[in-house]
Structure 1
Amino acid sequence: MNYRFWCGECGFKTTWGDPSEAGRQHEDHYTARHPGLPLGGQVETGTKGPAAGGGLGCVGMVVAVVLLLIIAAACGR
């Protein structure tokens, strides 16, 4: 599972990653941009990001449509 932290003060979001890496990015952001404020915001969990693997998404759909069009054109002759 991947994690992403959202800043409670601005629109910053960490990159997707393991909890320790995303948490470190969150702390670094607060130290640099909001010194003296306690950490705030939200934590998002999910299976997104490069470490999550996942399918081909849009690319897979485009390839499937192109293949169907080629098959349809070949059968229509």
Structure 2
Amino acid sequence: MAYRYWCGECGFRTAWLSGPEGERQQIEHYAKRHPGTPPGGHVEVGRIPDGCCGCLLVVAIALLLLVVAAACRR
């Protein structure tokens, strides 16, 4: 899963990251931009992990090429 952390004080948001990395970036943002304020906001959850669709596309193309190669052999 990928997560995006949003600041509760301003419009800052992290990139789509793993949970611990996004949380770390949000804490660093609060320490720098909102000192003394406990981290808040909300977390957006992405359903598809980063890189998943790219791998699926490569596998689909490879299978398509195998089918075309098998059909041309006959």
What letter is aligned with 2:24?
Answer: R
Percent identity reads 55
Q: TM-score, normalised by structure 1?
A: 0.63
Q: Which amino acid aligns with 1:2?
A: A
State the shift of 1:40 in Å: 0.6
Give me the CA root mean square deviation: 1.5
Q: Give the number of equivalent residue pairs.
A: 53
TM-superposed CA distance for 1:10, in Å, is: 0.2
Task: Give CA deviations for 1:34-67 in whole Å, capped at 9, x if unaligned.
Answer: 000011100011146xx52225xxxxxxxxxxxx
Q: Distance in 1 between matches of 2:47 and 2:2?
A: 6
Matched residue, 2:9: 9
Query: 1:29 Cα shift?
Result: 0.2
Gaps of 5+ in 1: 56-77
Whole-Å separation in 2 of the counterparts to 1:39 and 1:26: 7
TM-score by length of 2: 0.65
Measure, in 2, the Cα distance between the counterparts of 1:20 and 1:13.
15
- The one-letter amino acid paired with 1:9 is E
Structure 1 outlier segments of 4+, above 4 Å:
none
In structure 2, list runs of 5 or more residues that go unmatched. 55-74
1:1-77 aligned within 5 A: 1-47=1-47, 52-53=50-51, 54=53
SS at structure 2 position matched to 1:17 = coil
Cα distance in 1 for partners of 2:15, 2:24 equals 11
